[in-house]
Amino acid sequence: MSYFDQIAEAAAFLKFRMGSLAPRVGIVLGSGLGAAAEAVSGAVLVPYSEIPHFPQSTVAGHSGRIVAGLLGGAPVVIMQGRVHFYEGYSPAQVTFPMRVLGMLGIHAVVLTNAAGGIKEGYRVGQFVALGDHVNMMGWNPLTGPNEPRFAVRPGAGQRFFDMTEAYSRRLRTLAREAASEEGFTLDEGVYLATPGPSFETPAEICAFRVLGATLVGMSTVPETIVARHMDIEVLGISCVTNLAAGLGSVPLSHEEVYETGRRVEARLASLLARLAPRIAVLVDAEP
Ligand code: HPA
């Protein structure tokens, strides 16, 4: 069965499970950041293991299920947990779920992640909206023949497409306003993605800072590229779970990343509940 047919089958399965719910907004929750999924009402829960061809997360802190329902009153489809390149998944597998969300008809996606903070002044536990990214994964998920059936809307699915505003300016504005109402400020940063799974060396962090990065992580960039290919608007939000290598006083660990996420995930959940209906209003106004 072709890659496209597998995606179509997974999407058809989820469509059936979601019944009359037709979300236009998708959300991907990163390491330790799953709380927003608990705030969904009328939730339809679908473990990844039940979805045909869907990759399974192997990382502690990534629970691995779809949660579809109402968040802040808006229909959303949430991925609680994602898969990463460092788990051994191919670029096609890593971006399979984003393709499925695209086939389900979402017009906007919020990609959240845990990241190391490179910029001076970042505090552990703060959230940063992505203004741009640097792809240091060493690969692009769109390498290979362009699949025209990913043109889910007119204009989508192009071989070559613009990445000047990979992260939607208007969604960032909404996010900043919602954060301010929640009582915190949302800085804007540049996320650099590495393949992982080792954390960076201090020399790499120095190099990444010179490249313009303020955040470093091991996800999100492939999803953003594939979302943009389908003309899905992207909002990226990083949680600074730790200071990047060489900048803090303690060695980096997955435990610190996970624990920081857990400590602030409720705040992210409130932000997303406030944001979801506003994003829905924006994208529902479009064809
Ligand atoms: N580096 C890479 N990925 C990460 C980090 C980090 O410091 N923190 C959370 N994810």
What digits encode the pLDDT tens for the residues 224-243? 999 999 999 999 999 999 99
The CATH number of the domain holding residue 85 is 3.40.50.1580
55 pocket-lining for ligand 1 (C-beta < 6 Å): no
Q: How big is the chain, counted in residues?
A: 287
Q: Whose CA is nearest to atom 10 of ligand 1?
A: 115
Measured between alpha carbons, how far is 179 from 3 in angstroms, rounded to an integer? 39
C-alpha distances out from residue 108 to 124, 233, 239, 275, 278, Å:
28, 4, 20, 12, 11
- Strands 74-80 and 215-217, by their bridges, are unpaired
The answer to whether residue 259 scores a pLDDT higher than 90 is no
Q: pLDDT tens across 132-163, in order?
A: 999 999 999 999 999 989 998 888 999 999 99
**Among 231, 211, 60, 263, residue whose Cα is nearest residue 154:** 231
The whole model's pTM is what? 0.97
CA of 257 to the centre of ligand 1 (A): 7
C-alpha distances out from residue 243 to 118, 132, 248, Å:
7, 20, 6
117 pocket-lining for ligand 1 (C-beta < 6 Å): no
Please give the single-letter amino acid code of residue 62: H
Q: Catalytic residue numbers?
A: 31, 62, 84, 86-87, 114, 218-219, 242, 254
Task: State the Rg of the chain over Cα.
Answer: 17
Q: How many structural domains is the chain composed of? A: 1
Residue 69: strand pairing partners: 76
| Angle at which helices 3-18 and 96-103 cross, to 10° | 60
216 pocket-lining for ligand 1 (C-beta < 6 Å): yes
Please give the single-letter amino acid code of residue 85: F
- The answer to whether the CB of 275 falls within 8 A of the CB of 236 is no
Q: Read off the tokens for 128.
A: 């940063």
Measured between alpha carbons, how far is 135 from 139 in angstroms, rounded to an integer? 8
Q: pLDDT tens across 3-43, in order?
A: 999 999 999 999 999 999 999 999 999 878 889 999 999 99
Q: Which ligand 1 atom is the nearest neighbour of the CA of 242?
A: 8
| Contacts for 237 with CB less than 8 Å, ≥ 6 apart | 110, 111, 112, 113, 127, 128, 129, 130, 175, 186, 268, 271
Which alpha helices (H) appear in 29-115, and where do they start and end?
91-94, 96-103
Q: Whose CA is nearest to atom 7 of ligand 1?
A: 116
The domain in which residue 231 lies consists of 3-284
Neighbours of 281 (CB within 10 A): 12
Q: pLDDT band at 61, cuts 50/70/90?
A: low
**Among 100, 69, 85, residue whose Cα is nearest residue 230:** 100
Neighbours of 145 (CB within 10 A): 7
Measured between alpha carbons, how far is 148 from 159 in angstroms, rounded to an integer? 9
How high is the mean pLDDT of the chain? Answer: 94
